[in-house]
Structure 1
Amino acid sequence: MAASMLRISPEVARQAAHWHMLMLDDGVSPAQREACTRWRAAAPEHERAWQKAERVRAQLGLLPPRLAMGTLDRERRQAMKQLLTLAIVAPLGYLGYRQLSPQPAYATVVGQHRRFTLADGTLLDLNTDTVVDVRLEERQRLITLQRGEVLVVSGPDASSTHHRPLRVASGQGLMEAMGTRFMVRQRERSTQLSVLEGAVRVSPFEGARHTIEAGQQLTFDAQGQGHRGIAREQDSLWTQGQLVVEDMPLRQFLSELGRYRSGWLRCQPEAAHLRISGTFQLGNTDAILAALPATLPVNVDYRTRYWVTVTTH
């Protein structure tokens, strides 16, 4: 069996994540570098895990090139280690495309919406093609968004004898709920946070912390760079099977619609800047496409069921 196909145990993955992050620290000592080299050479599985961590960082951008670990608090370091550990354990073919943990407990396929109630009372709505990992630990309640989009309504955690903060980890940082209802969407190289009720404290993996209030949206990268916007209640209506848009460019609309169907959905450049508004039922994306020529000067061309192009007349 090829080395890249051999299984890596969760324990070795955790060790690899530890050493990998330590080596990214500007303050790592020569003795620590030597110890890491010895660990890598101790077993073939160790070196496979190390190489997998390198590929994960390159392909998914889970970690910045240099971390300066001394500037990061314990929670952020722990969340980053958990993300990297999950990615190391995952089958290589799933990297950057499918879920990062085999057989996840909380997941949806393309076009599906599911709702879960966790043991602490927290409600999770998972949008299309979403995977989350949930760990209700002694010191915290951690939801790791591996792919897709989730709406979170923080639970009372009534069964716990002490306060356990509710946190959501993404590929770019950590978000802590402050009695709230909010959405988190994992984009290609950024995280989009929309706070609908309450507030959320945001801790990018590098960069300053700040608090996002109800009605605000923040898109940020691992260094804390990004932009703010308005969080709209209508953007959560995917929980009711609806996509609501106002004066949206057709290219962006088709990109959003494409999240809910398999295959390739695109438009010609000539049609990209046409504007569209309306409320669309996501249960039948073919019906949405069929109705486009009634409102826009376009044709919808099906090369196959999974290869659709919108063109102008």
Structure 2
Amino acid sequence: MPNQQPPITAQVARQAANWHMLMLEDAVSPAQRAACNRWRSAAPEHERAWQKALRVQAQLGLLPPQLAMGTLNRERRQVMKQLLALAIVAPLGYVGYRQLAPQNAYATDVGQHKQLTLADGTLLDLNTDTAVDVNFDAHQRLISLRRGEILIDSGRDSSSPQHRPLRVASEQGLLEALGTRFLVRQREGATQLTVFQGAVLVTPSHGPRQTLDAGQQVTFDAAGQGAVTPAREQDSQWIRGQLVVDEMPLREFLGELGRYRPGWLRCQSDVAQLLISGAFQLENTDAILAALPATLPVQVDYRTRYWVTVNKR
């Protein structure tokens, strides 16, 4: 029985994707090519990741030729690097990317909410400060979450002659909808997935697959590590302009509220663990802050409109 090589780690996959994209640039220097060759020869895993990237490009046409002509902006290049890294650690037969150049890019500003109806009938809600790329082709429907949070109510895709899986790519993995309504949030170093209806197949960048069913939630890293907990419908109430919390520590509450307003919002450590509950209207975050002293022993101090500190009263 032949020896099986260990899987390529997510870290090496990201390095390979970075080198691969750099080598496609018109302005790559001899020194950079030499550095790339040194990286490839530094470890067998590096070379395996490099060769896997080449096979992905050759077999699936993963990277569009116009990349070498410098026509893609920085954000789209970053998305392409993330997806190439995913392709390096995933089985080739599972990766369905035919072209990474996004067909459509959508974004919201801080405090803004936007709802879109995609070509397949999918409803896509974008929360505050969110950016996505949408790329539908003959083989799949791909939504790449660059930052922020989205709520998806998957469409039937009745206009397509063949089944095209609906997938969401985050920094930590690939999510495939199985007829569902679900929420995806890009956190720092982790992806939060909440399934309200149906099920979602989760393929981490480097970790075992798992299926999350309706009523379940997980926040996982690139290795797929994360405990499954009950889903909370209240986490989706931002689509109605509300922040709904139940006995949330004040520090965490202000962190959530701060997503919907520009500037810096914080509290002192002696009030950080005070608990707060309620449904708060996000259209006026200053009104929410003004009401805090009525329910908690705190005062709200404004150094400027964009620099706010909650202190003990």
TM over 0.5: yes
For normalisation by structure 1, the TM-score amounts to 0.74
C-alpha separation between the residues in 2 aligned to 1:190 and 1:300? 31
1:134-283 superposed matches below 5 A: 134-283=134-283
8 Å CA contact retained: 1:120, 1:155: yes
Distance change (3 Å), C-alpha of 1:137 and 1:274: same
> 8 Å contact 1:76–1:174 — kept in the other structure?
no
Rate the CA distance shift 1:140–1:56 in 2: closer, same or farther, 3 A.
closer
CA distance in 2, matches of 1:121, 1:133: 17
Contact residue 83 and residue 169 of structure 2 kept, 8 A: no
The secondary structure found in structure 2 opposite 1:125 is strand
Q: Give how far 1:74 is off.
A: 2.9
Q: How does 1:22-61 map to 2 (within 5 A)?
A: 26=45, 28=47
User: Whole-Å Cα distance in 2 between the matches of residues 198 and 12 of structure 1?
Assistant: 37
Q: 1:106 to 1:67 in 2, by over 3 A?
A: closer
| Structure 2: 5+ residue stretches without partners | 1-19, 26-32, 55-66
Structure 1 residues 56 and 142: alpha-carbon distance in aligned structure 2, compared to 1, 3 A threshold: closer
Partner of 2:300: 300
Question: Quick one: which amino acid aligns to residue 187 of structure 1?
Answer: R
Deviations along 1:268-287, whole A, 9 cap, x unmatched?
00010000000000000000
Q: CA deviation at 1:63?
A: 8.8
Question: Aligned in 2, Cα 1:190/1:109: closer, same or farther, shift over 3 Å?
Answer: same
Query: Structure 1 residues 12, 225: CA separation in 2 closer, same or farther (over 3 Å shift)?
Result: closer
**1:158-194 Cα shifts (integer Å, max 9, x gaps):** 1100000000000000000000000000001000000
Q: 1:27 Cα shift?
A: 6.5
Query: In the TM superposition, what whole-angstrom CA distance separates every residue of 1:112-150 from its partner, at most 9, and x where no partner exists?
Result: 000000011000000000001000111000000000000
Structure 1 residues 298 and 214, CA gap change in structure 2 (3 angstroms) = same
Is the CA contact (8 Å cut-off) linking 2:182 and 2:195 kept in structure 1? yes
Structure 1 residue 105: deviation in Å? 3.0
Q: Is the 8 A contact 2:298 2:312 kept in 1?
A: yes
For 1:242 and 1:304, how far apart are their aligned partners in 2? 25
Shift of 1:13: 6.7
Q: Indicate the SS of the match to 2:235.
A: helix
Contact 1:76 1:173 in 2 (8 A): no
What is residue 92 of structure 2 aligned with on the other side?
A: 74
Partner of 1:40: none
Q: Judge conservation of contact 2:142–2:167 (CA < 8 Å) in 1.
A: yes
Question: In the alignment, residue 73 of structure 1 is paired with which amino acid?
Answer: P
- Aligned partner of 2:117 in structure 1 is 117
State the distance in 2 between where 1:67 and 1:239 align. 30
Aligned Cα root-mean-square deviation (Å):
3.7
Q: From the superposition, tell whether residues 14 and 73 of structure 1 become closer, same or farther in structure 2 (CA, over 3 Å).
A: farther
Give the 4+ runs in structure 1 shifted more than 6 A: 11-14
When the two structures are aligned, how many residues end up with a matched partner? 262
